[in-house]
Amino acid sequence: MLKKEMQWNIGKQKIVFPMGRPLIMGIINITPDSFSDGGRYLNPQVAADRAFWMQDSGVDLIDLGAESTRPGAEPVSEKEEMTRLLPVLQRCRAKLTIPLSIDTYKSKVCQMAIDHGADIINDVSGGGWDPEILTVVARSPVGYILVHSRGMPKTMQKEAQYHDIVEEVFNELSVKLDRCLQAGIDKERIICDVGFGFAKDKTQNLILLRRLNRFHDLGRPLMIGVSRKSFLQAFAKRHGVDIEMMNIIAQTVAFWQGVEIWRVHDVVTAVAARELLEKIWKADCSL
């Protein structure tokens, strides 16, 4: 893993990604239909308590989402998304000391989240489903997670047609990164995510995982979100093992290719794996 140390500006904070230590982003879905934990955190206090527990467990960032964007998901209105999100955001912002990310692609939800203290906007559409979101992000100091996807959640798997999955995803992310810069978002505020599962089939996801090194040429830190994705669920089910084993294998593959952030559901397993990898990395670097 040969690459320079990267930095990410989010508001007044500057996150420096240490070599050999991925940061961990804990996921909380405030939805009834998310593929992993839909319905568990609809109660605002339960969701906020989960965030506080994640912080105490050692995560570096929290990501709140109030609309499922899994393949096949039905969209929800801006009003409904904000109704789910706001009470959790307010509770979290009052007590969390780590950066808080909001998973949304809607400009009005984005503005509301920023107004109530969000540090980061995690946009699975890469500015493609509501272009105004780039303007909203540009006039604020928040960090921005640029994710690759095609189509809308309900139909995106029909868009999983590629001649060269790595180069096409790279080129499409490059175009979206340029649009972000043209909209006025500073490059240092952006990180990139190849969008595992978003308009990609099982084989395409595996190829991307093997070739993550390619995406360092974007010149920005990288995040992956493979946690409990269907292409890993298939392997876990086939062999009768816990999905977290597959998550950690995939995240470790990403780690050795220099990926800076893991976005995860099971934070305890991720934190333990991170500690072991950090010790291995330090031992390796001392040789």
> What pLDDT does residue 1 have?
47
> What pLDDT does residue 157 have?
86
In the predicted model, residues of the chain with pLDDT beneath 50 are: 1-2, 287
Per-residue CA distances from 154 to 33, 68, 159, 270 (Å): 13, 10, 11, 30
Q: How far apart are CA 135 and CA 234, in angstroms?
A: 39
Q: How far apart are CA 114 and CA 69, in angstroms?
A: 20
Among 122, 102, 132, CA closest to 114: 102
Given the candidates 2.160.10.10, 2.60.120.860, 3.40.50.10860, 3.20.20.20, the CATH classification of the domain at 21-282 is: 3.20.20.20
Read off the pTM: 0.94
Which residues are designated catalytic?
A: 229, 263
Among 265, 253, 262, 200, CA closest to 231: 200
> What pLDDT does residue 39 have?
66
Of the CA atoms within 13 Å of residue 69, those in its CB half-sphere come to 26
